[in-house]
Every structure is written in structure tokens, then in C-alpha cells.
Structure 1
């Protein structure tokens, strides 16, 4: 027909474009509820690509930090609840509370504040929950903990009656407190007190001070006194005479002529003298300076020839070694981020060790004799016993006893700053850099806390029972 259009060659019609009148597309209708609230008609859509990247990173980081901190609190609460029943145990009125000793030292190339924060964050909450008391031995420099611990042991030996040139005076505060307690009938804690050592560097100083305190002499040797004098006089020159020395002033007056030696009392001179006296008074009121760190009283090579003191007990106090990861450096940022997001694992490891110290179950340190190839600690303690600056050719490194004390926290030495090894003097002893040296007589008497899972389950069961009783009382 004439009205019919011819078909296309392909047999299909071309697509017809939609009819548009030029008006914009109407916005979707708003929810009546939101409209009655007076809220604008938002059009929900996905954010842009850059905003998606930003919110994904921020959300993932926030979620990871929140999850880690929540699990960390839960784990710390678990260990705190496990030892909480110890604080409710009755204690006689004439018996002192159990007191632990905390050994704390500044990490290499850093200050003491980080070590204190580590103690307050991980160790202190569990000790408080167990109702335990503690003393602290701190060190800001290498060797401070060693010197303080060795001096404390020597003082104990003197108080036990060992022969010494310088006896402990009765006016010392510690002696006066002990005498007062004996008069009042106050007794010490019957069981073992124990020590908590934080960090590998502190642990090495602890072991060195333990050997020095028990195997070294009670009195200061002459070579140590000479070393202290050299430290006080670094130039090696004798101290100059002070201006206020009467002998020096008398000599100067004798050498001066008669006219110059006569003293003229002037008002201005008297004022200057009074001002000098006023300035000298505050200096006299200042606290005495802390004594410098003395060198060790005994070298590591003299351990075997040193006699045992009569006051040495058959078992030394048990100890717990707490991990203290501390890593510095910009290029170690990925490792530091990983550790920052996994503090829950660190809290669980530290909580286990502190709970073991609270329950006061201990065992001897393990050791293996013979070839180091069959030693269970060969991976962590493959270094020789003697220090690098000492020459000990009597025993080969393969035929010696390997003690468990050597391998504890040895991996932390890999995180130490390079300045610790760079600034080292090879002719002097360095407790941090030298290998740990152990005497079998001391190492065999050392004890270590261990955790029995039955104690943890019993402690948690007591806490749950106490909570149920409290809920029943509230319901009544």
C-alpha cells in the first residue's frame, strides 16, 4: 500500500529516541515522617572515590585499635580476677604483708619513664588485685640495678653477722625499723617473697648483682676504692685548696708584706662578706649528691674461686621475668605498628607471669650439661659463657652447662639500639653487651615462678561464686 513504509535492509527498525520536553527529572518523594520532622530532602548516594578511601582507612584503624584495647582489658580483668581471692585471705595482725621486689631499669638508649609506664600498665593492676605490696629497685644507667642489688645483699650479709670492717650502724633507718618490729612482735611473711624483673637488660644486671652480692667480698676492695677516686677526679689531678681553708689563708698572710696583710674593716667589705655568707648557707642545706656507681667487687672469672658465705641459703628467692619489648627507629615503624595493635597478646603473656608470682609456686631453673647440640636452650644461648673481654680457655663452649637463665628474653637484645654496642669499650665490662656468666652454686639455688592452671581455675570459680552471692543478696 502507499501508506506503508519500506522495510530496512537489515529487517529491523532503528531505535527511537525517548521524547523529552526539556524539564529536569523530578526528585524522589520524601518520607512523610522525615518531612514532618522538618528535615531536608536528602538524596542518599555513595561518597566519592577519595572519601571512600579515607573512611575505609580511618574505620579500619579505629576498629583495630578498639578491638585490641577491649580484648586487652578483658584479658587483664581475667588475670586480676584469678588472683583477687588472695587479697581476701585473712592475715594475722602481727604479721606483715607479703612484699615483692620490682627490678626496673631504663631500656637502652631511652629513659626510665617508659619502663615505669610499662610496669603501671601491665604489672601493677594484677598486684593491686592480689593485695600485695612491693619495693622497687630502679636504674637509669647501665649497672645501676647491679650495684644497688649487690649492695643490698652485702648489707644483709653484714646484718646476718658476717665479719666486716664497716658494720651496719644502729642508727640506720632499716636497722631501726627492724628492731622496732622485733620489740612489737611483728613477724615477716612466712613464705617466699619473690622478685619481678622487667626486661632483658634488667635481668642481666639482676643475675650479675646476685652473683656479686653473694660471691664477692663484704667490704669494698682497694682496687674499687681507687677506681672511685679516679671517677671523682677524671683529670687525675689532686683537688685544689679551697679559698676558705684556714691553713691556706695563714700561708698567704705570712707571705704578704705587713702593709698588705693588715685588714681594713670597711662597710662595703663587711657587706660583701655578709652576702657571701648568706650565699654559702643555702649550699650547706642542699642534699648530698648521690654516690657514683661503684665497679663490681668481683669479676666474672673469679666466680669459681670465691668461697660461699655462711649466710647463703639453700634456696634463693624465686623470680619472675617480665617481657619488655622496646624498639626505636623510623625504619622499624611497621613492627612498632604491629606491636601497637597487638597489646592484648602482651597483656596475656605478662599477666600469666605476674599471676604466677602472686600464687607463689616456684621450681628450680632448668639446665643441660654436656654438648650444646643436645641442649634445649641451644637456639637462645649459643654464645660462650665467658665475656668477650675475658680469656677463658679452660673449657670449650661445646662442653659446658647451659642454664635456662641465659635464654630468658634473649630475643629482646635484637631490638636494642645500635648505640649500645657502638659506644662500648672492649677493655671494660659491660653487663648489657657481655654474655651472662653463671656460677653453678648460685644458679642451682635460683628459683623461678610457674603457673598452675588449677590455681587459675579455682580463682576464677571463687570470683564467679562471689558475684552470684552478691546478685542473690541484691535480689532479696
Structure 2
């Protein structure tokens, strides 16, 4: 005799639910389903726990500093402001990786403490070095009265004077994201304070160098083409250019670039000779933020581990920002055994691409110059020198034929083909401009790589000792710098 049905089951049967569903008995999933459920739930649980801890850590540091934003300010006062430097990581096409790390992990704490920031953008290796060196040279020229800051046509009541602006910079600080940024910043600082005060136009200097190497010189031929009468010694006939009018000296013929030494240039700036100062003026304190970037298939396990350990990066960024907010500084610790600048330069030039992993250990300098020294092993496989060499070789192998085509069309030696009518070839003027742009980019990348290359060490000068300051971190001695990995 069948067991009488309960009222709930009878009611559910009338709704159209199959009887097999109502009479089914629960049972354990199969072995494969149990493995899948266990792995999935473990991964999701660990991810949820990590993100919860990350939010908790960030909130705890925000609570520590938010009282600074609640302090009243006068209408004429300005908030504290810091400058952020994030250089391009070698081998990464995204040049904003370091600045995004700052915005995600350091910026929230600064915003909670009502601290303003200014990010200096860089697009390729060496840009930060050239920017810092140029800023230092301008500062030295202004201090000596060689240059004067441009006067504003309108006197605004809240506009800061040069002295007030400098005081605000000293009270703020400078944030350096990663060891590669520290290398570029120190190289620019050393170049700006150790070099001369002359303003050098890099593009004009390179244009003169390229114009004198004979790449665009005419090749003398025994006979002229049939039906064409021209002097082989004559200057090439200029062709029409698709470029907008410009006064760039790179677009002028080589003869125009050369100036007679007997004719002085009235518009040229007088030569300024100034020896490097023995002591430096006060410098803004530095905040060294740990940052790494894993690129390549070999680092996929590191990327996976980093994805599930977001709390480590949040803690590293929050601790760095908290140190800046509190404003406790100490002297920048230089190398234990000082080398002369000439020795450092010789060591940098002797270090080659074939340096092994021991090359990173050989670059130990001591003090804060060894900040995140272990991260150089991540940069070593991403040398741009081989790609630059291949690109330069490929470009110069096709340049003679392109130059010959441009001159033939300019002199009317032949007519354009149908393909050339659809895609007009570059003129000689455009080829000169193209070569200048390519060489400028290649040489800038080579210069930048020589600065951040593993084994070269951080540039240091004795004049920096006792002048450079560093913000103290809460766990300066016991903390792990590897927490900043990406």
C-alpha cells in the first residue's frame, strides 16, 4: 500500500512539477564534481578573503590620517603638495604602469590626508633623467641671475613667489616609484648639479651631427643619365615637402648648418662657465615606493600569486603614503665605500649585456642606493639594444634606394609609377626629418637603458651626502620590500 501523500506534495503535483523531482532523494555529487566544487570554492574564498583584507588595511590607514583633512585652513593657504615620478619600466609598452600603481595604492591615503600631488609624465627610458637635469640647470641659472622667471602680466593675489614656491616644494616631497625611477632621478640630479650651465639643444646638436656624417651626400657618377644635363657637383634640387613650414635646422641642407667661426651669432647665448657647487641647497625629501613589474611567460606564476595577494601591495602603498603624511625624515644613506664619479662612469661603461646574475650582486653600493636591488633581475631580460640595432640596420639598408628615388623624381629623371602616384614617396627633406626623429628616439632609448641597466648602480656624488632626505617608513627595518610586486 502506497504511503499517503502529504498536503504539500499533493499541492506541488497539481502545479505541474514532475513526480520524479518530488520523489528524488538527495545524494552526494560524483567524485569529479566534488573536486571541482572544492577547488572553485577554495579559490573564490581566498580571493574574497584577500580583497576583504585589502579594503580593511586601506580603511585602517585612512582612519589614521583623515584628521589632517579636517584641520581648518586660511583662505590664503594652500594644501601640501608632492611631486610623483614614475619612470617607464624597461620592456613594458605601457609607460604609465608605475603611475597607475601610485594612483591605486598610494593616492587614496594622500587624498584622505588632503595632500595634493603632481604627476610628471614620462614616455620612454631616460625622459625622467633629462627632465630632472633640465630642472636643476634652470634652478642654478635662476639662482645666479643668468635667467629670470617670466613675469606674469596679471598679478593674482594667491600667486606664490619663487621663494614661496620653493618652500612649498621642500615641505611637500618627491615620490619615486620603483628602483628604476630612483636610478633615473639620481642620474638626472647628478647630471644637473655636476654639469655646466649651458643650455644645449639636443635636437639641433643631433641634426648637425647627422648632417656631417655624409649619409645624404651625393655620389659622383661618371656619366649623367641620358636626356638629363646637370652638374654632378651641384646641390640636390629640393623637392616639395608635405611637412608644415618649420624652422627646424634638421630640415636644412648641411651647408646651411655650418657657420663661419669668424662671424659671431648675435642671437646666440654667451658661453656660461660655472663649476659645480661643493654643497647643494636644501632638497625635497624622497619617498621610495617599492614597485616591480613582471613581464614575460616565465613570470606567469608570479602574476597569479600577485593577483591573489592584493593586500600586500595595498599594505606597501599605504605604509609609504603614511610615512609621507607623518613627515618624519632621515638622511639619505649613501654608499659605505665611496667611489669617484669617474670610477662609477667607467664601471657603467664596462658592464655589458652578457653580465650574469652575479652582476646584480656586484652592483651592491650600500645604504639606500641598494633599494630593491633584487628587482634588477626582472629588468635584465628586457634590453632594447638588440631591437634598436635591428631597426637601425633595417632602416639604413633601405635609405639609399629611397633617397635615390626622391632625387630622381625631384630632378625629373623619370616619371612616377602608378604605385608611387597612389603612395607618393618621401622627399629628401622628409627623409632628413624622418632620420632625425628615428635617431633621436634610438639614442634616447640607449641612453636611458645605460642608466637603468642591471649592474650599473645608482649614480651618487659626495655633494648629496647630508643634503638628501628620505621619509621614514613605519616598518623601515623589519618590512619586506617585495610586497610591492605587480
Smaller-chain TM-score range? 0.5 to 0.7
RMSD, matched Cα: 4.4
Residue 98 of structure 1: CA displacement?
Answer: 1.1
Residue 161 of structure 1: CA displacement?
Answer: 3.3
**2 CA distance for matches of 1:74 and 1:31?**
50
**2 CA distance for matches of 1:209 and 1:86?**
33
Residue 436 of structure 1: CA displacement?
Answer: 1.6
- Structure 2: where are the runs of 5+ without partners? 219-230, 232-239, 251-273, 352-362, 390-442, 476-486
Change (3 A) 1:85 1:386: same
Corresponding residue of 1:339: 306
Residue 95 of structure 1: CA displacement?
Answer: 2.3
- Report if the CA contact (8 A) 2:319-2:474 is conserved: no
Corresponding residue of 1:449: 471
- Report if the CA contact (8 A) 2:61-2:322 is conserved: yes
Write the mapping of 1:284-303 to structure 2, written as runs, cut at 5 A: none
- Report if the CA contact (8 A) 2:328-2:472 is conserved: yes
**2 CA distance for matches of 1:308 and 1:321?**
26
The match for 1:197 among 167, 176, 179 is 176
Residue 324 of structure 1: CA displacement?
Answer: 1.4
Which moved further from structure 2: 211-220 or 230-239? Answer: 230-239
**2 CA distance for matches of 1:236 and 1:335?**
50
Name the count of aligned residue pairs: 348
Corresponding residue of 1:112: 95
Write the mapping of 1:89-238 to structure 2, written as runs, cut at 5 A: 89-110=71-92, 111-163=94-146, 167-168=147-148, 170=150, 181-182=159-160, 189=168, 192-220=171-199, 227-229=205-207
Change (3 A) 1:62 1:235: farther
Corresponding residue of 1:362: 329
Between 1 and 2, higher relative CO (CA 8 Å, sep ≥ 6) is seen in 2
Corresponding residue of 1:416: 379
Corresponding residue of 1:465: none
- Structure 1: where are the runs of 5+ without partners? 1-22, 241-254, 256-275, 290-304, 373-383, 393-399, 454-476
The match for 2:318 among 351, 354, 364 is 351
**2 CA distance for matches of 1:370 and 1:190?**
31
Change (3 A) 1:179 1:437: farther
Residue 82 of structure 1: CA displacement?
Answer: 1.4
Residue 331 of structure 1: CA displacement?
Answer: 2.4
Rg (Cα) greater in structure? 1
TM-score by length of 1: 0.62
SS of corresponding position for 1:66: helix
Residue 364 of structure 1: CA displacement?
Answer: 0.4
Residues 332-356 of structure 1 deviation map (CA, whole Å, 9 limit, x = unaligned):
2212211111121121122111111
- Pick the structure with more helix per residue: 2
**2 CA distance for matches of 1:31 and 1:64?**
43
**1 CA distance for matches of 2:133 and 2:38?**
55
Corresponding residue of 1:307: 276
Residues 51-106 of structure 1 deviation map (CA, whole Å, 9 limit, x = unaligned):
22222222222112111111111111111221111111222222222110000122
Write the mapping of 1:3-14 to structure 2, written as runs, cut at 5 A: none
SS of corresponding position for 2:96: helix
Matched, 1:432 2:395: no
Change (3 A) 1:50 1:212: same
Corresponding residue of 1:13: none
